[in-house]
Structure 1
Amino acid sequence: MSDWMDHLTIAPIVVPLLAGTLLLLIDDRRRTLKATLAVGSALAMVALAVLLLLMADGTVGGEAGNAGVVRIYRLGDWPSLFGIVLVLDRLAALMVLLTSVLGLAALVFSLAHWQRVGPFFHSLFQFQLMGLNGAFLTGDLFNLFVFFEVMLAASYGLALYGSGIARVRAGLHYVAINLVASLLFLIGVSMIYGLAGTLNMADLATRIAGLRPEDRALVEAGAAILGVAFLVKAGMWPLGFWLPTTYAAAGTASAAIISILSKVGIYAVLRLWLLLFGEGAGDSAGFGGTWLLIGGLLTIAFGSMAVLATQNMARLAGASILVSSGTLLAAIGVGQVEVTGGALFYLTGSVLAVSAFFLLIELVERGREVGADVLAVTREAFGEAEEPTDDGEIGTPIPATMAILGISFLACALLLAGLPPLPGFLAKFAMLAPLLNASGAMPATSWALFAALILSGLATVVAMTRAGIDVFWASPGSEVPRVQVTEIVPIGLLLGLCVVMTIEAGTVMRFMEATAQSLHGAQEYVRSVVPPSKASGMTGGGAP
């Protein structure tokens, strides 16, 4: 059984690739067929992702140790150090599952309207999923770059999907910024390869400790340049200035799925920093950790100010992504296993909440005057959105529409602000508890993180309360939105998963803590990818 199960590792890449290619060959006028195939692919992806998570955890097809089960898929059966290798562990499986769930929710939501706005929506969507899954599963830096570019190329099309000057302007800025980030990615990878002689992540981990001092400085410089490319995508201050505008201008379904792109940058930083600059990296151990912590704190501060400053709900959602990215970067920079476990719990809950909020925004603003949530003094500065027109009104009134939307909005507010009893609060508690319980005096940076998490939550409460009052109580002449069941169900799915995380918090947290332990102790990952003789560098041997 294990033979065929090994091939499932590549399935999250192959399934959307084949589906996207097939959808390109079908005429856009056959919308029902294309939608059926796209949703079928998304459902298959969710099922595959659940199975892969169970496999990585050792529940299915193996016995888990502390690091779980690390499965290796060597394309063409070439050795890891020479061929393309995919690696499935708990973290990769978690991110693939998160991507699949978001993909299904956004795709179902798009069936009501967005699939009809322009051509090739479903193909772009599938290629987006392919790039995301490939980035999470790849085991070497070159193919990480390849999947980054596939992911970004699809996101360019999704960000520009539809009409409107604001969308085109923001989309072109997004393209230009990410092209510069891709150039930095190539420069950093080239420097690392020129000095270390490999791009396989596990092999790099065995070689870092044995580098000569003169080579070590250049490898660290290459890693820093590579880190800047990741942090641009993660939205760290001052590199994330583009993010709120781009996400606010994108179409609703597009914004819901590309919102996870910022977490791809977080994933890359978390994976590479702990693998290459962990305890086994010799003199390079902990390289850049202080900058991650400081940059994360500054990003939280900038994101909190953006949350308070904006009068537009779409920009509020984009600013909330900055706050979540800053929180994750600061938690990673602390470098403690327990804090990393809480950060993974926070990552999962925040991605689900922000995506649900993006979907919800279109529904609560439907029927309102365009720009009704912008105060008169700032209306001209923000401008009025230009949405693509379509055949007639979208959806039909359903019973208790405003009550459903109001409850969903309240749930999003609680999740984004990190208030009890939902996952945002539990995750922040899990991150702060190890800092407060540490022996000795707590460092100033830990106090700063404590204050940042509390104040950012307060800022989000103020902003969401103001937005909720304006939408549900103070908007004159607003009509009951006309919505379809296919638009309500995806929001309910995402928020329902957050409720499940709350109910099963103990089980979920144990998985996150086990994932964090395997990330901080990367020996099992390295031994699974490279031969034992090569993995000896993890214990600080000589140069390979």
Structure 2
Amino acid sequence: MTGWTHHLIIAPILIPLIAAAILLFVNERQRVTKAMISLVATIILVGVAITLFEIENRSNGFEGVYLLGNWAAPFGIVLVLDGLSALMLLLTAVVAIAALVFSLARWHGVGAHFHTMFQLLLMGVNGAFLTGDLFNLFVFFEVMLAASYGLLLHGSGPLRVKAGLHYIAVNLAAALLFLIGVSLIYGTAGTLNMADLAARIPQIEEDRRMLMEAGAAVLGIAFLIKAGMWPLCFWLPTAYSAASAPVAGVFAILSKLGIYIILRLTMLLFGEGPSAGFGATFLVFGGIATLIFGIIGVLASQALGRVAGFSVLVSSGTLLMVLGINDGAVSSGALLYLVSSTLTISAFFMLIELVERGQDAGAAVLAVTMEAFGEGEEGEPEPEEGVTMPGTMAILGTCFAACAILLSGLPPLSGFIAKFAMLSAMMGTGAIGVPPTAAVWTLSILVILSGLAALISMTRAGIRTFWTSIEGTVPRVLVIEIVPVMFLLALTLVLTLRAGPAMHYMDTTIRTLSNPSIYIDAVTNAAVMPGVGNRSGTEGK
């Protein structure tokens, strides 16, 4: 990247930061003004994310390093753009614009500083995806957490406050572990720059390397809490289901932040050398436990919000197992699965509010009781004529069916393509004479069972909601609410139609991650800009 496009790397951080600062000076009663500022900033952010993604896609590999303050690494702060970070920036932007538009119908006005916290959340998430330094990762992580606390509590209510307090306590513990892990790593390696750290690890003495690995393990636990690995995940379904619909929709990306950091650090720091494969077994068994727990939760849940919350755990468990197996072809399919599942779960969280708006909670409980005891199935007169489904219910039912297909991994949508890519890669080892390992067989079986559990749960909920509901009120749905849901589901259709190019991008990204020297060389050899104050000790190239 050269010229003005090089400065676009810092734009995903600056845009929401500037927008949040401006919003603080706008009175809360001027809701339309605040909404327009936030919306314009997010639209610009989407445009920047698309531009960076296209630049990275055309480069077919590693693209850019941005030296803040024109200080050379490892002494200065660096932002790094590669295939993985560009993908996550784009995914965050599209989920954010959908959630923000959905919130404009009503949610943005039920509490103070919604748009400010929303923009600060985007700043923290984007910064975490771009940073090449562990300390600045901690800074962006804290900004993201602070904003998420306020967003989860947005709208008040006893259930939301209770879930929010649990969420705050757990994530404060995660932040403390993060700081302890970073301190241990810095004490043993003498650097927090990721590229410099990866270069130094092979030269660390054995006794000090053990302490460094202990620090990496503590750091990993902090992100496994955010990713929702069992048994660190009990807070997640309750917190996500208690959040307002647009907040839960944008929170779908937060668990993937934990997955991203684990993938980044595992491939970069422990992909080669004496510490190669560090933590892989732990990720495999943790992923198995998380996936099983998520499957049981999906089957046991009656409320749709809980189903969506446990679907997040199913997604996390699948991705953690793939990280532990560490197979390039499987990882490529897992990246596609990450994108598809995030779009689906985000759309599903927002759809749930629209679907449940026309239902009464007591009627839903009664419907479950009637289903369990078989009441109302016999002796009822059959209607002579069919009842025409209102247009609103038809649209909601279609979106619900699309979410069910995507979560279940049924053809023809992107959920099926992603799972098929993972399963075919795992079973493909048998075709070349190498029998699949026990971990591969376990993941294959659990992936299939997770799809079956999602199909059973979503079918059961769909029948109660759209076919045999004893509460026949048609919900009032605004266009501004249903369009974001349809937008995210349409993106999964685009991902289906463009599965070939998408898988090519994922393959290229995984190949780049599998070669840490590309990342290390790009960061350490990044030249300062001549004539802007040379702070590297040498002339820029």
If the length of structure 1 is used for normalisation, what is the TM-score? 0.91
Structure 1 residue 80, shift from structure 2 partner: 1.3
**Amino acid of the structure 2 residue aligned with 1:520:** S
| 1:201 corresponds to 2:194 | yes
Tell me the equivalent position of 2:461.
467
Q: 1:364 aligns with which of 335, 344, 355?
A: 355
1:353-502 → structure 2 map (5 Å cutoff): 353-370=344-361, 372-374=363-365, 400-438=391-429, 439-502=433-496
Three-state SS of the structure 2 residue aligned to 1:437 is: helix
| 1:270 corresponds to 2:270 | no
Measured at CA, do residues 530 and 374 of structure 1 come closer, stay the same or move farther in structure 2, by a change above 3 Å? Answer: farther
Give 1 or 2 for the bigger CA radius of gyration: 2
Measured at CA, do residues 178 and 378 of structure 1 come closer, stay the same or move farther in structure 2, by a change above 3 Å? Answer: farther
Tell me the equivalent position of 1:138.
131
Structure 1 residue 28, shift from structure 2 partner: 1.5
Which runs of structure 1 show a deviation greater than 6 angstroms over 4 or more consecutive aligned residues? 376-379
Tell me the equivalent position of 2:276.
285
Which consecutive residues of structure 2, in runs of 5 or more, have no partner in the other structure?
371-388, 527-541
Q: Using the alignment, how far apart are the partners of 2:163 and 2:472 within structure 1?
A: 28
Tell me the equivalent position of 1:19.
19
Structure 1 residue 372, shift from structure 2 partner: 3.9
Q: Using the alignment, how far apart are the partners of 2:150 and 2:63 within structure 1?
A: 34
Structure 1 residue 454, shift from structure 2 partner: 0.5
Q: Using the alignment, how far apart are the partners of 2:95 and 2:147 within structure 1?
A: 16
Q: Using the alignment, how far apart are the partners of 1:88 and 1:486 within structure 2?
A: 33
Measured at CA, do residues 376 and 483 of structure 1 come closer, stay the same or move farther in structure 2, by a change above 3 Å? Answer: closer
Three-state SS of the structure 2 residue aligned to 1:240 is: coil
Structure 1 residue 233, shift from structure 2 partner: 0.2
RMSD across aligned C-alpha pairs, in angstroms? 1.6
**Amino acid of the structure 1 residue aligned with 2:478:** Q
**Amino acid of the structure 2 residue aligned with 1:80:** A
Tell me the equivalent position of 1:33.
33
Structure 1 residue 49, shift from structure 2 partner: 0.1
Post-superposition Cα deviations, 1:18-71, rounded to whole Å, max 9, x if no partner, equal 1111111111221221111111111101100000111222x2xxxx35xx1331
- Contact 1:332-1:339 within 8 A present in 2 as well: no
Q: Using the alignment, how far apart are the partners of 1:378 and 1:77 within structure 2?
A: 66
**Amino acid of the structure 2 residue aligned with 1:499:** L
Tell me the equivalent position of 1:386.
none
Post-superposition Cα deviations, 1:154-203, rounded to whole Å, max 9, x if no partner, equal 00000011121110000000000000000000111000000000001111
1:20-99 → structure 2 map (5 Å cutoff): 20-57=20-57, 59=58, 64-65=59-60, 68-99=61-92
Tell me the equivalent position of 1:214.
207
Q: Using the alignment, how far apart are the partners of 1:522 and 1:378 within structure 2?
A: 56
- Contact 1:373-1:467 within 8 A present in 2 as well: no
Three-state SS of the structure 2 residue aligned to 1:73 is: strand
- Contact 1:236-1:299 within 8 A present in 2 as well: yes
- Contact 2:367-2:469 within 8 A present in 1 as well: no
Tell me the equivalent position of 2:239.
246
Structure 1 residue 370, shift from structure 2 partner: 2.6
Q: Using the alignment, how far apart are the partners of 1:290 and 1:138 within structure 2?
A: 27
**Amino acid of the structure 1 residue aligned with 2:489:** L
- Contact 1:236-1:295 within 8 A present in 2 as well: yes
Q: Using the alignment, how far apart are the partners of 1:300 and 1:71 within structure 2?
A: 36
- Contact 2:79-2:132 within 8 A present in 1 as well: yes
Q: Percent identity?
A: 57
Tell me the equivalent position of 2:384.
none
Q: Using the alignment, how far apart are the partners of 1:372 and 1:157 within structure 2?
A: 32
Post-superposition Cα deviations, 1:131-157, rounded to whole Å, max 9, x if no partner, equal 110000000100001000000100000
Structure 1 residue 531, shift from structure 2 partner: 3.5
**Amino acid of the structure 2 residue aligned with 1:28:** E
Tell me the equivalent position of 2:142.
149
Measured at CA, do residues 375 and 83 of structure 1 come closer, stay the same or move farther in structure 2, by a change above 3 Å? Answer: farther
If the length of structure 2 is used for normalisation, what is the TM-score? 0.91
Structure 1 residue 3, shift from structure 2 partner: 2.1
1:491-530 → structure 2 map (5 Å cutoff): 491-530=485-524
Tell me the equivalent position of 1:298.
289
Post-superposition Cα deviations, 1:198-251, rounded to whole Å, max 9, x if no partner, equal 001111111111111101111111111111001000000111111000001011
1:524-539 → structure 2 map (5 Å cutoff): 524-531=518-525
Q: Using the alignment, how far apart are the partners of 2:23 and 2:467 within structure 1?
A: 44
Q: 1:322 aligns with which of 309, 313, 319?
A: 313
Measured at CA, do residues 375 and 275 of structure 1 come closer, stay the same or move farther in structure 2, by a change above 3 Å? Answer: farther
Measured at CA, do residues 372 and 144 of structure 1 come closer, stay the same or move farther in structure 2, by a change above 3 Å? Answer: farther
Post-superposition Cα deviations, 1:65-98, rounded to whole Å, max 9, x if no partner, equal 5xx1331111100111111110011100110100
Q: Using the alignment, how far apart are the partners of 2:126 and 2:270 within structure 1?
A: 24
| 1:309 corresponds to 2:303 | no
Q: Using the alignment, how far apart are the partners of 1:261 and 1:50 within structure 2?
A: 20
- Contact 1:369-1:478 within 8 A present in 2 as well: no
